[in-house]
Structure 1
Amino acid sequence: MDGLGELDRRITGCRACPRLVEWREEVARTRRAAFREQTYWGRPVPGFGPSDASLLVVGLAPAAHGGNRTGRMFTGDPSGAVLFAALHEVGLASRPTSVSADDGLRLRGVRITAPVHCAPPANRPTPGERDTCRSWLTAELGLLRPVLKAAVILGGFGWQAALPAFAGTAWTVPRPRPAFGHGTRTVLAARDGGAPLVLHGCYHVSHRNVATGRLTPAMLREVLAAAAADAGL
């Protein structure tokens, strides 16, 4: 098992945040009516994508009836439908849909992760839960360091949660910290003599953002394409 595979295995066994453990397991027991016959994952959801990814997509946390059900990031929920369709359009995913962990989907040069690996009540992790989970993201970044060149951060929560992890790995985050914004492009210089990291801000692919037109598929594709170019994809 490679380093990321071992990290993913360890993540799935985490029980560090009692509120999140209780919620994710309660959702897995009660289930949504539409998925009544399915067995929910009900555990922390690890990252998804190849170990040589030069581009990282960072979300917020798994959805209660999406990743918490299927065991794969952004899989089985409306947000994932938007994200994977866009990834496919720009040539980073083998298919435009992601419905289950065994559907054959493959990502090209991109890995998807989140600063919080458990589904939170109301999609809102607490600051303490965010900080507790940060060690997993820092470890993931450390393993990707030799190949990682760019990252797309979905939403302000992900942006604020990810910056300390980048700073704790190999890159320097300017002070004051760069503000989140859709279309923001920020270059983090490396402290270890390696390549810098180019951050791209993007509105989250939440149902609200998509339904209101705050984020359109074209806007998402534009950010992903720009980040893919920075990542050499």
Structure 2
Amino acid sequence: MPASLGQLDAAISECRSCPRLVSWREQVAREKRAAYADQVYWGRPVPGFGPADAALLVVGLAPAAHGANRTGRMFTGDRSGDVLYAALHAEGLASQPTATHLGDGLTLYGTRITSPVHCAPPANKPEPAERDACRRWLLQELALLTPTLRAVVVLGGFGWQALLPVLAESGWTIPRPRPVFGHGAHVELAPSGPGGRPLHLLGCYHVSQQNTFTGRLTPAMVRAVLANAARLAGLRPE
């Protein structure tokens, strides 16, 4: 178990556990998209991003092939990130509304972003075995964040289903029947043992182009979920 998020992030970035994902992320990094032909792609697992004392965690799906797999930072350099970071900035959770590359000055306030799969998958669809292989990283990240964590926003059904068993293993009680994902869903999870704190779990449609271009998810909808999560996490007044 790493002693810090910095150590965890470094370990994640060196992982080669899933042959299909290693092959794909590195192929994309070699072949590149024409618009980024002059750039050096990250081409490795993408660790989480945000402070070690975050009260709010945002959980996505996996890095985008020409977004985070190129830039090396979650939701950075693609249109999904454009929507997410604009909403985070509007709600006072990010220092700026855009995320283009490492070193662009972006800082998150009380908020960390991660995903259940840390490598870009073909067609944006990780296989169940790849999700399960990556679970140890999410478990360790939650263990390090638990002292300050108060709320989690999950972007999409894949992240929701991947996260529930990890939350149970991390010390929270999952109600039965299991909570169903939906935009605006909100469940308060009780600690499974004495001395723990409850955790607010919230659902939001994923900020994918499929959702945002069709109007299924609007910037106002993302902001509303983040505003509620920030309030529940104690990052803004009641």
RMSD: 0.9
Alignment match, 1:112: 113
Q: Which runs of 5+ in 1 are unaligned?
A: none
User: CA shift at 1:2, angstroms?
Assistant: 6.1
Alignment match, 1:71: 72
1:30 aligns with 2:18: no
Letter in 2 for 1:90: E
Q: Distance in 1 between matches of 2:96 and 2:39?
A: 23
Alignment match, 1:143: 144
Alignment match, 2:203: 201
Letter in 1 for 2:112: R
TM-score, normalised with respect to structure 1: 0.99
User: CA shift at 1:175, angstroms?
Assistant: 2.0
User: CA shift at 1:93, angstroms?
Assistant: 0.2
Letter in 1 for 2:206: H
2:223 to 217, 221, 224: 221
**What fraction of aligned residue pairs are identical, expressed as a percent?**
68
Report the secondary structure of 2:181's partner residue.
coil
Q: Distance in 2 between matches of 1:55 and 1:190?
A: 17
1:167 aligns with 2:160: no
Letter in 2 for 1:3: S
Runs of 4+ more than 4 Å apart = none
Letter in 2 for 1:24: R
Q: Distance in 2 between matches of 1:2 and 1:65?
A: 31
Q: Distance in 1 between matches of 2:225 and 2:79?
A: 19
User: CA shift at 1:185, angstroms?
Assistant: 0.3
Letter in 1 for 2:116: P
Report the secondary structure of 2:229's partner residue.
helix
Letter in 1 for 2:140: A
User: CA shift at 1:182, angstroms?
Assistant: 0.3
User: CA shift at 1:143, angstroms?
Assistant: 0.3
Letter in 2 for 1:95: Q
Alignment match, 1:183: 184
Which range is displaced more, 189-198 or 112-121? Answer: 189-198
Alignment match, 2:158: 157
User: CA shift at 1:174, angstroms?
Assistant: 1.3
Q: Distance in 1 between matches of 2:192 and 2:69?
A: 36
Post-superposition Cα deviations, 1:143-170, rounded to whole Å, max 9, x if no partner, equal: 0000000000000000000111111111
Post-superposition Cα deviations, 1:59-100, rounded to whole Å, max 9, x if no partner, equal: 000000000000000000000000000000000000000000
Q: Distance in 2 between matches of 1:19 and 1:175?
A: 35
Post-superposition Cα deviations, 1:190-211, rounded to whole Å, max 9, x if no partner, equal: 1232211100100000001001
Q: Distance in 1 between matches of 2:176 and 2:21?
A: 32
